[in-house]
Amino acid sequence: MARKKKTDFKKYIKGFWFLILSGILAIFLLFFLTSLGDLPTFEELENPQTNLATEVISSDGVTIGKYATENRTPIHYNELPQNLIDALIATEDERFYEHSGIDFRGTLRAVVKMGSGGGASTITQQLAKNLFTKRPSSNIFKRLLQKAKEWIVAVKLERQYTKKEIIAMYLNKQGFLFNASGIRSASRIYFGKEAKELDVQEAAILVAMLKNPRQYNPHREISKKKSFSRRNVVFAQMAKNGFITSQEKDSLQKLPLKINFTPESHSDGYATYFRSYLQKQLRTWVRKNPKANGEQYNIFKDGLKIHVTLDSRIQRYAEEAVKEHMANLQSHFFKEQKSNKTAPFYDIKDSTVNVILQRAKRNTDRYRRMKKAGKTAKEIDTSFKKKTAMRVFSWKGDLDTVMSPMDSIRYYKYFLRSGLLSIEPQTGHVKAWVGGINNKYFKYDAVQQQKRQVGSTFKPFVYATAINQLKMSPCDSFPNVHYTIPKGKYGIPEEWRPDNSGDRYGGMLTLKAGLAGSVNTMSARLIDMVKPVNVVRLAKLAGIETRIRANPSIALGAVELSLMEMVSAYSTFANKGLRVSPMILTRIEDKNGTILEQFTPETKEVLSEESSYVILDLLKGVTESGSGQRLRNPYTALPDVVTGFPYKFENPIAGKTGTTQNQSDGWFMGIVPNLATGVWTGGEDRSTHFEGIGKGQGATMSLPSWALFMKKCYADPTLNISQEDFEKPEKLSIKINCGDQEDEDEDGDELEGEKVPKKVVIKEDIDF
């Protein structure tokens, strides 16, 4: 019988130890080679370099915008909801709280299964990779070195930070596409809320994206099914790890995928025009306020906190009001243009229309690019006439259409533009800034950048000068007849004799009736009494910075000013004659919350408290019986020509409408004790306007936006917008009560004056 061959166990034992020692040696060699490379220093671990978005924070603590190369705003662990943390741990690193950076059990499983059972990277390793690995190498040897480096860094991170800090750092560093860098931006962009408000479904969607934000993105049509499936994997992992029950998992997995996609770009969100202006101001600030080491702050990377005066609620109501009214007004304008041969222009020849369109063409980015590229005039012209697919603005949403660039230029000329600005008179704080109807398509800012003729809204400065300088009373009366200023006086080349709207003359009018009816003859008389130079001086003191020529025609608003100037100046009336310069910034902080600068407004006296109160009383007359009376109740108000209903305000409102020649500009300035608001509406070109005064006057074009805005503000009691009357001075020496019966002064003596109607109803308000 053959002898059985003896197994040589020594050979296998030697082989086993050879493999073990070779593996250990390979690991030591790998780590040795890794140590020769660039590992992060202690300082880099302590302060990893991450681009941080600068936040614009409203007065009520809401982030209304950001400036960023990466839209990243880090948040702390205590700002994360528990369901998000649970979903993250369950899906990405089940033994996160057990390991010290490297999960050896998971690593061994990955090696044995050759990666088929999933990777072995812990949350800490992924954080190390995100922080210090610029790009994973495609070379297997170099990638092994990177992996070893990530292990070393992961261990160091675990020693340096707590588990909670690592979770927060990890989520803050992740990218989620669509300008969403970090968990806070992702929460705001995909769900329109802060991270701490995420529910378990929303948390699962975001955790699902961590594996591959493009492949599992809930907003991309092509990846919605994968996003849904991956989200359900997250629910399954949460159930497996005991964070939710099996019943909860089954219920959650049946829910449809739901997001509230709210993009955050310079043209999206609220206060877009304001943010554009603020950015320019910040660029100036960083040049004048360097860091301690002499470097300039980078508003796109340094994570500054910009605290502004805007109130997010008031801003939202302002934008909603302008949108509601302008969409409605535009529909009326479109209907009117169907019968206009030179639409959307009036009173100009075809040759002038061509000049307008060609000028607009030369202002386009397309023209500038082609010109810079050396294209000939013929090539440029051909390009502008070629029809192409494009997306254009409409009040019903963006439209995909086919038209030539030249057609699109004319198309956009049809749209009426509008701006709204609201200031708190006592502080100068700008509370709402609506620079246009859509920042994506209409970049020009109607608040600060644009200047247009102001019409009758300038008249209160004439009246204010007369009251402050001559102590005139609203009850003082003058004949309603033509008033002529002769040639040569004040340097005018020919005599000046303005007409009243509708050629209405006769009888006697008080100052109050004159301003309420925007009577031109009254304004002409007053500016001659006080001299134009004094009106200009008062306007300048009140906040008008534009150079104004001191001639009589300014009494009718023949001057181009910005909405910012007008609202700022009107605020002086509401602040008892004290001018507080407009203010948009309250303080700037660095990323750690250290205050870099605090801001205070400038204040100076312009008018006496008495004169300011008298002007406000005159302006209240405009909304009680003048061109702004449609703000009132249905028994005394004119229904709005466009909306068809009155607004039923019952509280005291000081206001003034303004309409320039040919209805090119429509204004409304409205003041309550703690909020002064102005609205301008008109076409981009002065020849773009309504044909008739009914729809083209300021009371129709701009007053409704103000009314809708204030209705929304009053409906929100948290804002505390005043509905009270303006505070009356303790000693008022100027008579303001101008009823049918002659008044008596405080001593009982009768005050002389002409009897005038209680109301002078003027339907139209226009300056020629």
Residue 627 near residue 667 (C-beta atoms within 8 A): no
Residue 239 near residue 249 (C-beta atoms within 8 A): yes
> Coil, strand, or helix at residue 24?
helix
> Coil, strand, or helix at residue 696?
helix
The whole-angstrom separation of Cα 543 and Cα 681 is 21
Residue 713 near residue 721 (C-beta atoms within 8 A): yes
Residue 140 contacts by C-beta under 8 Å, 6 or more apart in sequence?
none
Q: What is the DSSP letter of 65?
A: E
- State the Cα angle at 184 between 183 and 188, rounded to 5°: 115
The whole-angstrom separation of Cα 754 and Cα 267 is 57
- Is 39 exposed, middle or buried, given 0-12, 13-18 or 19+ CB atoms closer than 10 A? middle
Domain layout of the chain by residue ranges: 73-263, 345-413
Q: Which residues pair with 423 in a beta bridge?
A: 430, 676
At 34, the amino acid letter reads T
Q: Give me the pLDDT at residue 150, please.
A: 72
* CATH level 3 topology of 73-263: Penicillin binding protein transpeptidase fold (1.10.3810)
Per-residue pLDDT of 129-146, as tens digits, reads: 877 665 655 555 455 555
> Coil, strand, or helix at residue 63?
strand
Residue 520 near residue 562 (C-beta atoms within 8 A): no
Q: Give me the pLDDT at residue 682, please.
A: 97
The whole-angstrom separation of Cα 451 and Cα 326 is 20
Q: Which tokens is 300 given?
A: 């796109």
In this structure, the number of other CB atoms found within 10 A of the CB of residue 129 comes to 19
Q: Give me the pLDDT at residue 636, please.
A: 55
The whole-angstrom separation of Cα 415 and Cα 525 is 38
> Coil, strand, or helix at residue 598?
strand
The whole-angstrom separation of Cα 583 and Cα 575 is 15
Residue of 509, 518, 522 whose CA lies nearest to 482: 522
Q: Give me the pLDDT at residue 731, please.
A: 87
Q: Which residues pair with 676 in a beta bridge?
A: 423, 671
- Is 449 exposed, middle or buried, given 0-12, 13-18 or 19+ CB atoms closer than 10 A? middle
Per-residue pLDDT of 447-467, as tens digits, reads: 999 999 999 999 999 999 999
The parts of the chain modelled with pLDDT lower than 50 are 1, 26, 29-37, 39, 42, 44, 110-118, 141, 740-768
Per-residue pLDDT of 311-358, as tens digits, reads: 999 999 999 999 999 999 999 999 999 999 999 999 899 999 999 999
Secondary structure string (H, E, C) spanning 63-119: EEEEECCCCECCCCHHHCCHHHHHHHHHHHCCCCCCCCCCCHHHHHHHHHCCCCCCC
The whole-angstrom separation of Cα 10 and Cα 381 is 90
Q: Give me the pLDDT at residue 758, please.
A: 35
Residue 314 near residue 305 (C-beta atoms within 8 A): no
Q: Give me the pLDDT at residue 307, please.
A: 98
In this structure, the number of other CB atoms found within 10 A of the CB of residue 391 comes to 11
Residue 458 near residue 557 (C-beta atoms within 8 A): yes
Cα-only R_g, the chain: 35
- Classify the C-alpha dihedral 41-45-46-50 as positive or negative: positive
